[in-house]
Every structure is written in C-alpha cells, then in structure tokens.
Amino acid sequence: MKIKVQVTELTQENLVDLFSCATYGSDWLYILTPKGAYTGTPLQKDGDAREDMWAKVLLAGKKVYACDYSAEDADDHYGKLPHKFDRKEGAMRYELTLDAVKAGLAKAMEDEYACKYVLDLMHNPCDVDYDEADTLMQFVVFGEVIYG
C-alpha cells in the first residue's frame, strides 16, 4: 500500500540546512536568485549567508533557480519543473518555489531510503549531511535521483 505524504511546513532553518548542505561542494547544483527577489539589505550588512537569502526569497513567495551544471544542452532536462537552458552559463535553470520544494520532499518520502532524509531534515536539520541533502535536492529539482 502506498501512502501519499504532504510536506506542509518548511522553516527557514530547514531550507537553509537543505541548501547549504546540498550546494557545498556540489558538482552539479548551484542556486541563483532572480534580480530584485531579495528585498533585504545587502548581504554584508544583514549578515545573511547565501542560503539565508534563498530561504527568505522562497518563504516570501518568490522563486529561485536551481542550476544543473551537468546538463549539456536544451534537451538535457528531467522532471516537471519549468526550465530553460542558459547557454551563457552552460546550465539548465529550473524554477523553484516553496511549493516545488514541498512537492519534491513529498516525492522523496515515497522512496525507501530518501524518506529518512526528509525526516532528518524536518526534525534534526543540523544532522543532514551532503549526501542526504543532495538526494533531497534531486527529488526537488528532478522528481527522482539522477546523479548517483
């Protein structure tokens, strides 16, 4: 029997931990913020790390872009998120919203191994490591694990 799970609430701490762990040392993922999406003071004055900025943008109902630098051309994409190949950057840009992150984490809850990672993120965010966060971000961006 399959159980459908919804992730209803994500905190700034959950998002910061997910983004910081998934992007630190990643060879495929980088997060970009559209111009004007972050309305706080400049990062140096506000003390926000990039992950804090990305979380605040999503929690404010705006979007960020997850860039897949392993994509080779406009046909090299996965999942259902809106996407566009950025030739200048050499990356596929996937549009992320808070709802898209929630949907990806709910999809990860259906996976035998990734469900533990979601539970760790929700209940013990500081215990999430790179492999767990990378797996979760692949579910968020692609709807499945593509890169190992």
> What's the whole-number average pLDDT of the chain?
88
Q: Residue 40 is encoded by which pair of tokens?
A: 């706080």
Structural domain range at position 64: 12-141
Is residue 3 domain-resident?
no
Is residue 146 domain-resident?
no
Query: Structural domain tally of the chain?
Result: 1
Is residue 82 domain-resident?
yes
Model confidence pLDDT, tens digit, residues 10-47: 999 999 999 999 999 899 999 998 887 776 655 544 56
Is residue 5 domain-resident?
no
Cα separations in angstroms, 68 against 16, 24, 50, 133, 147: 19, 14, 18, 15, 11
Is residue 4 domain-resident?
no
Model confidence pLDDT, tens digit, residues 128-142: 899 999 999 999 999
